[in-house]
Structures are given as C-alpha cells and as structure tokens.
Structure 1
Amino acid sequence: MRAISVTEYGGPETLRVRAISVTEYGGPETLRVADVPEPVPGPGEVRIRIEAATVNPVDLAARAGHLAALAPDLPLGLGLDAAGEIDAVGPGVDRLAAGDKVIGLRDRLPVPTGAHAEAIVLDAAAAVHAPRTLDAAHAATLPLNGLTALQGLDLLDLRPGSTVLITGAAGAVGRFAVELGALRGLRVVASASASDEAALREAGAALFVGRDEPLARAVRALVPGGVDGVLDAAGLGIRALDALRNEGGFVAVNGGAAVPVNLRGTHVRNVWFRADTAQLEYLVRLADTGHISTRVADVLPLEDAARAHVRLAEGGLRGRLVLRPA
C-alpha cells in the first residue's frame, strides 16, 4: 500500500471509505455499510487502514441506544479495537510511521466513524506496533478486552498470593484477567461454565466454581472468609460481592450489574476501557511471548455485521467475532 501524506488530500470530502455507523437505534437489521468521508489525521493522530476489527457487547449496546446518554448524537461509529496498517500520520507523530502494522483502541464513544470501517483515525497514543506472532484477526482482539482486564486488576491492586474471583472467566475480558492475574502471582478463582474448567486451569486458575453453583457459598467453601478481590466480568453484582471478604475490593466491568453500596466495608468501583500506550505495549509483549492468548470465534466480512451482532447476542462464543473490511 502506498503511503499518502495528509497534504495530498484536498479535504475530508475528497475520498470516501466504507463504514458501519448507527444512524437509527434498533435491532441488527438497522446496520448498513455506507460510504463516509475518509478521515484525515490531525496533530498527534494516525490513520489506520483496518484489516480486522472485533465486535463487542458495547457495539450491541450502542446500536440499541443504550449508550445514548454517553454518546447522544447520531451517526455513532461502531467498533472500538482494530488491527491494520498506518497509511498517514499527522504533525508531531514520531513513534509511529506510515507502513507500520499496529493495533489500536478507540476509547472515545461520541464519534461518527469507528473501527467497523476501512479506515480510522486515532490518537497516536492509542496505537502501538502489532504483535509479531499474531495475524490481524487475533491481534485485533487484544486492545479493548486486554486493557479492560489489566486496568481492572490494577484497580484491585492485590498483592501476590492474594485471592481474586473472576466471574465470566471464559469470556473475552475474563480469560485475559485469569492469565494476567496468574502472572501477578494471584490465586485465581475462576467462575464459568463447567465445560470451561480445564481450559481455565490451563490459563492459570488455581480454583474453579461452576456457573450453576451457588457462587458465594461455593467460593467461601474454597476460600474461607471470602476472596480478597473480585473482578466481575459477568456482571453478577451483589451475588459476586457476597463472595468477597470484609473490606475487600470489587471491580465491575464497564458498569456491570449495579452494586448498591459498599457492604461490609468493601470498596466497589467500575472499570471502563481507556487507551494507554505503555499498557498496550505490555500486552503485545505478553502475546508475543505466549504468556497471554487470543481467541477468534469467526471472521466475517464487514457486510455481515448484522449477523455478527445476532451471534454475539446469542452468547456461548469462546473468542471474539472479527469483521474484515475487505
């Protein structure tokens, strides 16, 4: 691909790219691929020609209008993380250059074009060199869910040897959290379907509780007094909080189920995704050295975004659905 400098463009209307944005709230049938103005990077920004972009629950929420309070204006771009190649850079960018293979995270919601497109403009700080050992589809699964898991564990700030319960441990965020927690020397209690136990123990879980078991009772049977921290990736709320010891830490992923109060002196917080250069680079190193794993459930063309939304809503996937613009 020829690298094109920003100055070669007459303006944002000169060229157009295909993208999927929310133009009306509703079901998957409302999703359409449309031609939109090609984004042009400004100071401190890069443009990425997207090779793969994941579909996440936040995309389904945005399409249905559940994020209207956070991003009230339409059109609203879909797609938060992606892998591709930089083809243009704005002034002041020196860490990245045209031709670099990168992964990146869009952490601003109210923008008209997201990663479900042929191209996206991101702050340079939100993109890093892609893992050398992964193809674009697997690399695209790393930014959003890997950063959410990492930042959730950071909020818990547990010492090595502490116990942490991770709900939804077989999911995209939960699986990363199991691996990252084990790397920190934490004693991980994973909660998921019984069929996932072997895979989660291989990923680093020391203890396991089946999703159909009474959570708090089962956890406390394994860890008398309760765990030191909970990363609630499944959004179980009060049921997961009850497995926590007094004055322990609880982190709900992206809002999760409402936890009304800090019962028993516990410390309840939410983790929302945010781009972080150093943390993304750390995740890339872990992926390249085999310390964390990426999972792809299926790769679909951009035009099949509606089908991807239906499949994700049905649940049961192990790995992310990935869209390819071409």
Structure 2
Amino acid sequence: MRAAIVRRFGGPDVIEIAEFPVGEPGRGQVRIAVAAAAVNRIDLSTRTGLLTEAGLLAPAETYSLGWDVAGVIDAVGPGVTGFAVGDRVVGLRDVLSAAGTYADSVVLDAGAVAPAPATVSLAEAATLPMSGLTADRSLALTGLRRGETLLVTGAAGGVGGTLLQLAALRGIRTVAVAGPDDRGIVESLGATWFVPRTDELAATVRAIVPGGVDGVVDAAVIGIGAHEALRGGGVFVALVAPFAPPALRGTRVIVQEVYADGGRLAELSALVEAGRLTLRVAETLPLSSAAQAHTRMAAGGVRGRLVLVP
C-alpha cells in the first residue's frame, strides 16, 4: 500500500509517497480502506519538525502523516464488537508514533472509530474527527450554559466553525472573530455577533458584551489579546500549550488536548447525519498531491478543509 511519510524535516517537498505492507488489525482493532483523509495543521507541524522540537514526537527514521480518516472497514481483529467488514466509518489516529491516515489503508483501535454519517460523502466525513472532537471538548471545558457568551477566535476555520454550530445548539451566544470577508460564513454557522480581526480585540468585544465574555476558545492562537476580552473569573481554553496566557483576574486557563473518543465521535456523526452540524470541504486532492495540500494550507486563507483521496 502507499503512505505519505517524512524522512527529514523541511518544506512540503520532503513529503514522499512510499510503499509499505498492508497492516493487520490486532486484538480490539479494525483496518480501514481509506477513502479520504483530511489535512490538519498538526500534520504541518509534524513535517517541519516542530512537534519533535517540542518533545511531543520522539525522533525516528520516518514520520507518518494524517490524523483524520473516513473509509470502509475491510478487516477486524479479535474481540471487536460493534463493527464489521463493509461498515462506513470515521476515525482519529491520536498516537503520533502509529501509522498515519495519509495512506491507502490504516489500522486503528476500534475505540477510535465511529459510524460515518450516511447523509454526506466520505470526503466530507473525513473532516469531522479532529475538528469535531477538538471543538466539542473545548466547549465542554468552558462549562458555559445556555445564555452565556463565548468568544471564538479563528471562527471561519474547521475548529472555530464547528464550535459556533455546537454552541448555537446549546443556546450559548458567540462572538466570532475572523477575517473581514468571512462574515457571511460565520453568521451562517450560527454566530451571534461578528468581529473582524483587529489589534483592538478586547475593546471591540467589550463594547458588544459589557464586562467581557464568559468564556474564550482561542482557535486562532491569539493568546493574551483574546484573554483581555474575558470577564474576571471566566474560562479561557487554549489549543496550543506554549501560547496559553497567564490566568489573570481570577480566570481559569485550560489547555485542550484532543484524543480519540469513538463514543463522542459517534454522537457528532449523528448530528451531521441529522443535518444539525455542517461539514465543509474546500477541495479534494489525490494522495500524490499531499505536498501541494500542505503548501496551500501553510499559505492560509483556505475555507473548509483540504482532503486527500487515495
């Protein structure tokens, strides 16, 4: 089978497509014939060596790419219940040393997998696991309730856009921060208020929500500038640990770490199937164009997700 790997760190040109034996599922595992794999920013951090520099990924001869996957189960290991050969599924690879999803085939623990939503294509379904689980966990960590107010930075991106939708479903009001041309997108996803990116973020948000918002999820990694829009005693959820601001004014600062959770992923998949959660694909590309996908993502401005289709 083919898989995208990195043997040395660098730009998109270091990605190569190599041949590997097809993996066999062990106890409690399933093998998925990959139909689609979404491209995430953490894949860029793997390729450039940032994860290794940060001590999050051990040095190795080769590094695999890809976290998100959608496809069809073509083999199950001993002890697996609830899944069978032929099932359409989505899943998340959260162990960085394991084989990645930029491949023709991938083996995952059954607990990392959920039924794919039947109402969308597998390319669309592949955009759900990482963004969906990150957004869902981030919102849960804020502890916000109906009627309270959440600031979402990077609101037009995959995580931010999912956050807006999940917050709207729970009756949480949102202040969405995105590019000036993204107003229509974020409002269609359920934002209560729109704020174009600005160096005066705190003052702008506090003019809308006097006293400051109850919670912040900083998907755009703004840091202290977004924290200043938070009321005293509020909750700030950071997605990247080194850029988490200090817990000033009695606030709580929490670093969200995504992990594979097949049970919660199944609930998010059901929301998609019911038409209550929208998935966005910017473009599909063949596996051989993984480097091109990384170049496009690094350049910014992509609305929706880039998806590799083996």
Partner amino acid, structure 2, of 1:309: H
Q: List structure 1 segments (4+ residues) > 3 angstroms apart after TM superposition.
A: none
Match for 1:57 among 26, 41, 47? 41
- 1:234 match: 220
- 1:76 match: 63
1:184-214 deviation line (CA, Å, top 9, x unaligned) = 1101111111221122122111111111361
* Secondary structure in structure 2 of the residue aligned to 1:98: coil
Preserved CA contact (<8 Å) 1:25 1:64: yes
The alignment covers a number of residue pairs equal to 307
* Secondary structure in structure 2 of the residue aligned to 1:92: coil
Preserved CA contact (<8 Å) 1:126 1:275: yes
**For 2:56 and 2:239, how far apart are their aligned partners in 1?**
16
1:90-140 deviation line (CA, Å, top 9, x unaligned) = 1110110111010000011122x2000011111101111110011111000
* Secondary structure in structure 2 of the residue aligned to 1:143: helix
* Secondary structure in structure 2 of the residue aligned to 1:67: helix
- 1:287 match: 272
Match for 2:168 among 168, 176, 182? 182
Runs (5+) with no aligned partner, structure 1: 1-16
Match for 1:299 among 281, 284, 304? 284
- 1:156 match: 142
- CA spacing shift, 1:49–1:254, aligned 2, 3 Å: farther
Preserved CA contact (<8 Å) 1:105 1:144: yes
Partner amino acid, structure 2, of 1:100: D
- 1:22 match: 6
1:31-87 deviation line (CA, Å, top 9, x unaligned) = 110001211111100000001001110000000001111111321210001100000
Match for 1:67 among 43, 51, 58? 51
**For 2:142 and 2:152, how far apart are their aligned partners in 1?**
12
- 2:21 match: 37
**For 1:208 and 1:28, how far apart are their aligned partners in 2?**
34
* Secondary structure in structure 2 of the residue aligned to 1:82: strand
- 1:85 match: 72
**For 2:183 and 2:117, how far apart are their aligned partners in 1?**
28
Q: Give the TM-score, by structure 1 length.
A: 0.92
- 1:270 match: 255
Alpha-carbon offset, residue 256 of structure 1: 6.5
Runs (5+) with no aligned partner, structure 2: none
**More deviation, 289-298/219-228:** 289-298
Matched, 1:144 2:136: no
Preserved CA contact (<8 Å) 1:194 1:210: yes
Preserved CA contact (<8 Å) 2:30 2:77: yes
Partner amino acid, structure 1, of 2:64: G
Alpha-carbon offset, residue 284 of structure 1: 0.7
**More deviation, 145-154/198-207:** 198-207
Preserved CA contact (<8 Å) 1:73 1:110: no
Preserved CA contact (<8 Å) 2:151 2:213: yes
Match for 1:318 among 299, 303, 306? 303
Preserved CA contact (<8 Å) 1:232 1:253: yes
**For 1:29 and 1:202, how far apart are their aligned partners in 2?**
37
Query: What percentage of residue pairs aligned between the two structures are identical?
Result: 50
**More deviation, 71-80/294-303:** 71-80
